[in-house]
Structure 1
Amino acid sequence: MLARNRFILLVVVGAVLAIVSLSLQFLNLMPTTPLGEEQVPGRGVRTGLGKSRKRVIPVPHTEPPELDPIAEAYGYCNTPNRTEQAWEGHSPADYTLLSVQVMIRHGDRYPLYSIPKTKRPAIDCTLSPSRKPSHPQLSAFISHMGRGELGHWESTLGSVPRLPNHSACEMGELTQTGVVQHLLNGQRLQQAYHRHRLLPGDWLPRQLWLETTGKSRTLQSGLAFLYGFLPDFDWRRLTVRHQRSTLFCGPEACDCPARGRYLEEEQRRQYRLRVGDARLEAAYVDMARALTLPPRQLRASNPVDSLLCHLCHGLPFPCLQTPGGAVAGEKACLTVQQFAEIRRQQLDDEADKRRTGLYRKYAVLAMHPFLNRTAGRMERAARAAGAGGAKEAALALSSAHDVTVAPLLSALGLEEARFPRFAARLVFELWRSPPGPPAKGGGGKAPGAGGGGGEAFVRLLYNGEDVTFHAAFCRSHKRHGSRPLCPLKNFLSFVRRDMFASLNASSYHEACYKRPG
């Protein structure tokens, strides 16, 4: 009886399996006939293969997702309400930090333009620790700025206000958000470099370099950054230096005829792309109609600047009261969709700029003087450390604009980097390895470094992210597991010769004065 039951069970199971197999074949989920031919990678076509039991799932080809203009705009705002991972100060064990050079873009500011027939954004530019966003050091920072007359000020900087101070912001004025952004920036770097003792307690005036343009927003941003990095710093040891050019080229190297030509070509490219964008034109027409303005007048007011301010500060987009509308008192308002269309075109322009390469040529000539000074400071610091001398310019801070940071990123070959947000920072770190034999592949000692002082290396960081091996001067350098940094000699060679290759020149002077054609 038991054997018969087992036999019946086997028959039932076999029948079920047969039905399932037939169903799968009918639904074409499991091919049961030999495939006529199959492409074998690297071996051409193979025919007459046996039965395949694999289910083949095609992988569709997809393009990279487009950036969301609104999400990108919020990133540009850089609202100080989130934590940020910062990789400054990280190095292999036993490496010594010799110097840090930082270029920052000023923090959040009031618009430089106003949209006709609309109210200006209602923002208070005085500082109040009780108003958000705030910072634990804000009250002490305000108090410390009141003693600024003890410092040394180049040119007319002494007459520039050290704090934003208008209850109704003036055009381009730094906001409290901008101050807090740079207090946070300075604090992050203070935490990153504290264990490296970058600046000793008895630091000398030559060990700290601060330079800024003459705009109040860059001066105030630089002071906020410095206070976050070095709270209650001694004003008497500080000299604030004035850069007259937004390119930070200094008085001796600003003249470069070819730079102007490349900039004009780049501006023509921008214009052609903009006027050929039908979606952008339609958005401007809609906006102009809502505000009863000629489209040309609206374009001239650069509305994206004001709309960004509304977005960053959580303000409703501007409206126009229209007593003559279809409904009495009806409001015509600018919309997020219109703003998104303008930002979309700006992102398209960034992509086109990378493709054409005109901006890169301009950027190389625009930022070489600054990079040359940066390289010179690094070289001197490496030599002084190798000889056992005191540090020179342990911290150099340049407080600048988007028209400074953007070409600097391009000149360094960081073409994929995002356009500088408010309070963006670019950091150059100089490190020295422990004494010992050179690494395989040759890091090379820094020019002038002492015999027992190890080798000099560079790290480059943008908004806290290590971008060293994305930069043109170190992209082809072979990384080593024990020394994942870039030799200083690579950076020096790039600044003094290699960066001019795209201009068919071997020096800054030749590239600037070479005749076109």
Structure 2
Amino acid sequence: MGISNHTSKYGTSYNKQTQSTQSQTDEMFNELKRVLTERCHSPLVMEKEFVASSEGHFSTFEDYDIRMVQVVTRHGERAPMFATALIGMKIFYCPDGSRQLFSASDLSHTVCYKAQMTWTGCRQLQLIGRHFRKAYSFNLTVGQLENRIRLLSTGRQRTDWSARCLVAGLLGHTNYNKLVRVNLAMVPYALHTKYVKSCPYREKLLNQIRKNLKYQQSASYWTSAVNRGNSFITATGYNGRNLTYIHQFNEALVSHFCNLYHKGISASITPCVKKHCMPPSLSLEILKAADVHVKSQNDQKISLVNIQPLLGQIVSEMEISATGQTKSVFIHYSGHDITMSSLLSALGAFYGRQPAYATRLVFELWSERKYNNRYKVRVLHDGQVLKSSVLDEWMTLKFFKERILHGHLRDPKSHRNACLKGIW
């Protein structure tokens, strides 16, 4: 006889308890799905984002023309960095880099290697490029625009191909040979914080933060989450190596979910090991601990040190454009999650979690039609004007430079001197 029809004195309370437990489980699954979904930045979400986007237009300032666009992106969806018990590589498929990339008939899927960008990741960046083609015409033909684009990357496959895929959408190209001819330069120094780890001033700031009680409590929290995650893996009977850091667990969860989510598969929201699936409560704990870790690494002062070379380059390109000494009208900096979180933190707009795949920051330079020497700057995050404690929504180029550069330009030598002297 079913519980709902049981007439004993325990039946009703047991049934209510079961319903309550099920309700709590459902709520936890919904919360987990929400947290994971916002990290995926699916093509469907992006399409809706483009409809509401303010990029390339605004009704208030009709006397201005777009002069230059610089966009910084995180790479698109990728395979995990660490193939572990939680997640293998066989479910991921990537471009092989030797055929026409975007043809519907192209079935040359290959299993990804570690951290390689997936087909969905390429699609995400292609959609951004296609959106930019509509938002920013520059009054140029595709042929003219092709010669006025610059792509900059950290030199990783996922960032290189993110740049290629974005420009494919921007120019409407589907041919691999045309894509590789577009100028792609490597600027890892400006786009990744690991190249400024030798900065003494940065180390000094980090040491000060690590001594803080709040930081130590946070470190204890994410260490506990790592230990619980490894305990789960061990309990399944898996005898491989454990994961060491919270970001390794985080990316295993995010990679697993986003890959299946983008394929329209919702059967397994969390990774499974030998038919044992990670409980949603543990998954949520790991994701939240990872956010705490990301937040602890993005102190605004440290982020300014990390990202000054990139900010300096963005300002410098605007100034060169204003003097008419460059042909470039579109520059794409293809980076990583740390690139985006450092930028957002430095600009007073960090939202406390790992940036989603293919998230973007756009820096627009506008020139006034009547007075050609008057320039305005606008910064947008995923299509909307950036809500920043540092910048105005609509500002002069001079104000923009004064607010973000603190006297140090993109030259690595000057950045190094500032690191040694601690003058920021």
Would you say same fold, with TM above 0.5? yes
Counterpart of 1:343 in structure 2 is 287
Question: Partner of 2:369: helix, strand, or coil?
Answer: coil
CA distance in 2, matches of 1:117, 1:280: 15
CA distance in 2, matches of 1:344, 1:374: 33
Which whole-Å deviations, capped at 9, do the CAs of 1:407-456 have from their partners, x for residues lacking one? 11111221337532101111100001232xxxxxxxxxxxxxxxx42521
Is residue 179–residue 221 contact of structure 1 (8 Å, CA) maintained in 2? yes
CA distance in 2, matches of 1:268, 1:183: 44
**In the alignment, residue 225 of structure 2 is paired with which amino acid?**
L
Larger RCO of the pair (alpha carbons < 8 Å, separation 6+): 2
Counterpart of 2:390 in structure 1 is 472
Structure 1 residue 373: deviation in Å? Answer: 1.2
User: Would you say 1:273 and 2:213 are equivalent positions?
Assistant: no
Is residue 98–residue 391 contact of structure 1 (8 Å, CA) maintained in 2? no
Change (3 A) 1:397 1:254: farther
Change (3 A) 1:335 1:499: farther
Counterpart of 1:134 in structure 2 is none
Counterpart of 1:99 in structure 2 is 68
Question: Partner of 2:189: helix, strand, or coil?
Answer: coil
Counterpart of 2:251 in structure 1 is 305
Is residue 413–residue 471 contact of structure 1 (8 Å, CA) maintained in 2? yes
Determine which structure has more spread, i.e. the larger CA radius of gyration: 1
CA distance in 2, matches of 1:80, 1:494: 34
Of residues 44, 48, 66 in structure 2, which corresponds to 1:81? Answer: 44
CA distance in 1, matches of 2:65, 2:194: 30
Of residues 52, 57, 61 in structure 2, which corresponds to 1:90? Answer: 57
Is residue 68–residue 328 contact of structure 2 (8 Å, CA) maintained in 1? yes
Is residue 274–residue 280 contact of structure 1 (8 Å, CA) maintained in 2? no
Which whole-Å deviations, capped at 9, do the CAs of 1:95-134 have from their partners, x for residues lacking one? 1111000111110000001223865452222479xxxxxx
Counterpart of 1:224 in structure 2 is 165
Is residue 109–residue 172 contact of structure 1 (8 Å, CA) maintained in 2? yes
**In the alignment, residue 412 of structure 1 is paired with which amino acid?**
L
Structure 1 residue 515: deviation in Å? Answer: 6.1
User: Would you say 1:139 and 2:106 are equivalent positions?
Assistant: no
**In the alignment, residue 376 of structure 2 is paired with which amino acid?**
F
Counterpart of 2:343 in structure 1 is 408
User: Would you say 1:110 and 2:63 are equivalent positions?
Assistant: no
Counterpart of 1:238 in structure 2 is 182
Is residue 159–residue 335 contact of structure 2 (8 Å, CA) maintained in 1? yes
**In the alignment, residue 139 of structure 1 is paired with which amino acid?**
S
Is residue 427–residue 462 contact of structure 1 (8 Å, CA) maintained in 2? yes
Identity %: 26
Structure that is richer in helix per residue = 2
Counterpart of 1:493 in structure 2 is 402
Structure 1 residue 224: deviation in Å? Answer: 0.5
Structure 1 residue 217: deviation in Å? Answer: 1.0
Structure 1 residue 268: deviation in Å? Answer: 7.4
User: Would you say 1:123 and 2:65 are equivalent positions?
Assistant: no
CA distance in 1, matches of 2:357, 2:376: 29
Of residues 22, 34, 44 in structure 2, which corresponds to 1:71? Answer: 34
Correspondence list, 1:16-31, <5 A: none
Question: Partner of 1:297: helix, strand, or coil?
Answer: coil
CA distance in 1, matches of 2:278, 2:207: 32
**In the alignment, residue 184 of structure 1 is paired with which amino acid?**
L
Correspondence list, 1:326-337, <5 A: 331-337=275-281
Of residues 203, 212, 215 in structure 1, which corresponds to 2:153? Answer: 212
Q: CA RMSD in A?
A: 3.9
Structure 1 residue 174: deviation in Å? Answer: 0.8
Structure 1 residue 70: deviation in Å? Answer: 3.6
User: Would you say 1:319 and 2:291 are equivalent positions?
Assistant: no
Counterpart of 1:56 in structure 2 is none
Of residues 205, 215, 225 in structure 2, which corresponds to 1:262? Answer: 205
**In the alignment, residue 309 of structure 1 is paired with which amino acid?**
S
Change (3 A) 1:338 1:169: same
Gaps of 5+ in 1: 1-66, 129-136, 143-163, 322-330, 385-389, 436-451, 475-483, 501-506
CA distance in 2, matches of 1:120, 1:200: 38
**In the alignment, residue 92 of structure 2 is paired with which amino acid?**
I
**In the alignment, residue 76 of structure 2 is paired with which amino acid?**
G
**In the alignment, residue 274 of structure 1 is paired with which amino acid?**
A
Structure 1 residue 225: deviation in Å? Answer: 0.1
Which whole-Å deviations, capped at 9, do the CAs of 1:285-338 have from their partners, x for residues lacking one? 6514433469992445822222212211236344344xxxxxxxxx43322322
Structure 1 residue 280: deviation in Å? Answer: 2.9
CA distance in 2, matches of 1:193, 1:243: 25
Number of positions where the alignment pairs a residue of Structure 1 with one of Structure 2: 369
Which whole-Å deviations, capped at 9, do the CAs of 1:459-493 have from their partners, x for residues lacking one? 101111111x525133xxxxxxxxx7211111111
CA distance in 1, matches of 2:326, 2:306: 29
CA distance in 2, matches of 1:461, 1:235: 27
Structure 1 residue 259: deviation in Å? Answer: 2.4
Counterpart of 1:193 in structure 2 is 136
Change (3 A) 1:235 1:219: closer
Of residues 346, 357, 374 in structure 2, which corresponds to 1:422? Answer: 357
Counterpart of 1:376 in structure 2 is 316
